[in-house]
Amino acid sequence: MSQPTVSVLVPTFNRVNYIAECLDSLLAQTVPPLEVIVIDDGSEDGTADLLASYGHRIRHIRKENGGKPTAVNLGIQEARGDLIWIFDDDDVALPDAIETRLAALTGCPDAGFVYSPHYYGSDGQDGRIVQGRLHAVPEHDPDSFFAELMLGCFFHLATALVRREVYLQLGGFDTQLLSSEDYDMQLRLACTQKAVRSSAPCFIFRQHSGLRGAKAIRYVGADRSKVFRRFDQRVGRKLRADVDLRDYLPRHAGTGDEGSVREAALLARMQVMASKGCLPEMLEDLRAVLALTDGKPAQGAAMVRKAICTGYAWSAMEDDWTDFRASLSELKAMPGGRGMVRAMALGCLAMAKGYPGTLSERLGKGRAGLQLWLNSIF
């Protein structure tokens, strides 16, 4: 049986300073790809001339700027390989990246994709990447893989080799997401496909302060968290609209009496909404739990304390502090509601104690915790 072929897709926009190192690493693989397709999303910085210098070693497609999802979708349609590897234009592949992941996928023929760890890196004095710390990816229980991924992204899409027919079945990337489109796709992959993990790191993720994102939302590295939160909120609301409530639980946890399963699922979805900074939806699920349990949820307080410390929950609360506190009135009016607000307060105080940031940031979380505690009383 012949080995599956790999098409590498590199969407790019104004990365003339980085893309040569990226392409050189892809063309130096121990198992060569069938093709490297570079989709130039309307670059204006000399990228086209640089790409021309690679001649027949790459396929170069140029299009008007429309953002990464439109570029990748075009590449998927053009690709001829059995597997697709979508790779960012500022990162660097390790030499055996294709070889190690092909081995893992070959050993699990019913898997739709393979993923792996990666390294972080930074620019050296000569501008070339310097390898840094490892981003480890532990083995995940297949029954809880999707549920855990909804709480937070634990692997990078650039580590994934995906069967081309899977991308086609899923309809490609969401072109309305100019950021977080990778995470949205990872969730759709995890919801529908079996995954297999390769233990070998496959690339170096370049951390830099340069401009990122589509032309419509260009941002510097320091603003990454704010941009990601805005689009992760959209991803969270897509999940809420599309995912059945029971699917927020690991598969083995979806059994038992209906009331208990619904309570657990609502609390799990509440945590997911909190992690995406979707605070109105978080509170809606919490109110539903209190109504279902007459104000006495089995694990409500513990999960609320954890939720308020998860993902973008704190930053969303901090940015809309006055409105968030005002929105707690309906919750407090319910049996058990004041206890849930106190749980949020304890979560903020726990963050203040253990947060690795500045003293000012820790004090801010501490003040929020005290204000929420008072809010639960008055």
The model's pLDDT over 13-63, given as tens digits with 9 standing for 90+, comes to 999 999 999 999 999 999 999 999 999 999 998 999 999 999 999 999 999
Query: What confidence tier does 363 reach under pLDDT thresholds 50, 70, 90?
Result: confident
In-domain check, residue 312: yes
- Name the token pair of 219: 């941002």
Letter string b/e over residues 76-103, b meaning 16 or more CB atoms within 10 A of that residue's CB: beebebbbbbbbbbbbbbbebbbbbbbe
In-domain check, residue 183: yes
In-domain check, residue 147: yes
Please list the residues that pair with 62 across neighbouring strands.
40
pLDDT over 70 (residue 88): yes
In-domain check, residue 230: no
What angle, rounded to 10 degrees, do the helices at 337-354 and 300-307 form? Answer: 40
Q: What is the pLDDT of residue 361?
A: 82
Instruction: Quote the CA–CA distance of 206 and 249 in Å, as a whole number.
Output: 34
20 and 120 in a single domain? The answer is yes
Residue 346's domain comprises 249-377
Q: How many CB atoms lie within 10 A of CB 136?
A: 10
Number of domains within the chain: 2
More confident residue, 139 or 292: 292
Q: What is the pLDDT of residue 151?
A: 95
pLDDT over 80 (residue 283): yes
265 and 185 in a single domain? The answer is no
In-domain check, residue 242: no
Q: Domain boundary at 207, 224, 241, which?
A: 224
Query: What confidence tier does 212 reach under pLDDT thresholds 50, 70, 90?
Result: low
Query: What confidence tier does 214 reach under pLDDT thresholds 50, 70, 90?
Result: low
| DSSP secondary structure code for residue 252 in this structure | G
Q: What is the pLDDT of residue 224?
A: 67
109 and 156 in a single domain? The answer is yes
* Phi, psi angles (nearest 5°) of residue 102: -60, -40
Instruction: Quote the CA–CA distance of 183 and 189 in Å, as a whole number.
Output: 10
More confident residue, 67 or 2: 67
Cβ(149)–Cβ(170) below 8 Å:
no
